[in-house]
């Protein structure tokens, strides 16, 4: 190694355990390994070095921050005064149109058509005739006439029964050819009667059919094929007849047709 000042040597930090350090001891020169220095006493603190030069200027200016939120809207200014120009003059009224035509005169009253009353004719009263002889003996009582048809408007020959859901050629217990009132309770959900027994009943006989149920209907279909032709109901307009809860209907027997509404 050439003779050089220590200050001229290149920097060797950091120290390595195998580095040699020259020392002077008792007039003689020696070398020590850096590793020989571990555990030795700490030397005195050296003087503070001079302050180094100031580093370069700071980095580039950072980006501009985001725009802050808009401030609250200011109060509305006062309303300006209302303008008021003068009112224009009223236009002149137009002329009035001519009046209607004059009323015509009333015509004369016609003569009365009533003629004079004629005189009353009155001849003298004739004399009273003589009294005739006394009447003869009373004749015998004639035979009783045939029974009239129909019920005479009094419906008091009753049959009371509860219906099934469907009844054909209906003939309830207690029925006879002179029964003229049927007190029938419709079944739950309603009952249908396709025909009413008419065999032996007088042509023109009338019957009153009453539904004693307070909830269900009795239906009487028009000319139902489920009953014999003479027992069927022949209803107006060919539609089924119905008897509402607690309602009644009157029918008359016409032998060539069946039972028809009265």
Q: How many helices (H) and strands (E) does the chain have?
A: 0, 11
Average pLDDT in the chain = 74
Choose between 185 and 100: higher pLDDT. 185
pLDDT of residue 104: 46
* CA distances from residue 1 to 20, 71, 185, 217 in whole angstroms, order as listed: 14, 78, 145, 139
Interatomic CA distance for residues 93 and 57, integer angstroms: 96
pLDDT of residue 20: 74
Asked if pLDDT for residue 243 goes beyond 70, the answer is yes
Confidence of residue 49 (pLDDT cuts 50, 70, 90): low
Stated length of the chain? 262
Name the one residue in this structure whose structure tokens are 């003869």. Answer: 136
For 124-149, how does the pLDDT look when each residue is reduced to its tens digit (9 = 90+)? 554 655 654 554 454 454 443 334 44
Q: Among residues of the chain, what percentage have pLDDT more than 90?
A: 41
Asked if pLDDT for residue 114 goes beyond 70, the answer is no
Nearest to 163 by CA among 190, 123, 196: 190
Nearest to 222 by CA among 251, 180, 184, 200: 251
Q: Phi/psi at 250 (nearest 5 deg)?
A: -110, 135
Are 217 and 185 spatial neighbours (Cβ–Cβ below 8 Å)?
Answer: no
**pTM beyond cutoff 0.75:** no
pLDDT of residue 93: 63
Asked if pLDDT for residue 156 goes beyond 80, the answer is yes
Name the one residue in this structure whose structure tokens are 């580095």. Answer: 19
């Amino acid at each position: 190694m050439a003779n050089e000042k220590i200050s001229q040597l290149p920097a060797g930090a950091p120290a390595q355990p195998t580095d040699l350090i020259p020392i002077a001891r008792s007039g003689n020169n020696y070398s020590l390994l850096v590793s020989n220095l571990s555990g030795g006493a700490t030397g005195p603190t050296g003087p503070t070095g001079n302050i180094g030069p100031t580093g370069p200027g700071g980095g580039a200016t950072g980006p501009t921050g985001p725009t802050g939120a808009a401030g609250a809207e200011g109060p509305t200014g006062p309303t300006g005064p209302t303008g008021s120009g003068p009112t224009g003059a009223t236009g002149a009224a137009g002329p009035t149109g001519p009046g209607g035509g004059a009323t015509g005169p009333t015509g004369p009253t016609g003569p009365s058509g009533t003629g004079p009353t004629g005189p009353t004719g009155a001849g003298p009263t004739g004399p009273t005739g003589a009294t005739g002889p006394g009447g003869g003996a009373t004749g015998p009582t004639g035979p009783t006439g045939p029974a009239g048809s129909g019920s005479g408007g009094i419906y008091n020959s009753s049959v009371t029964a509860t219906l099934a859901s469907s009844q054909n050629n209906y003939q309830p217990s207690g029925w006879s050819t002179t029964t003229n009132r049927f007190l029938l309770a419709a079944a739950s959900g309603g009952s249908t009667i396709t025909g009413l027994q008419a065999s032996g009943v007088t042509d023109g006989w009338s019957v009153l059919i009453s539904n004693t149920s307070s909830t269900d209907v009795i239906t009487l279909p028009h000319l139902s094929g489920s009953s014999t032709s003479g027992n069927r109901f022949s209803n107006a307009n060919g539609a089924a007849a119905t008897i509402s809860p607690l309602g009644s209907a009157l029918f008359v027997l016409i032998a060539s047709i069946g039972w028809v509404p009265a």
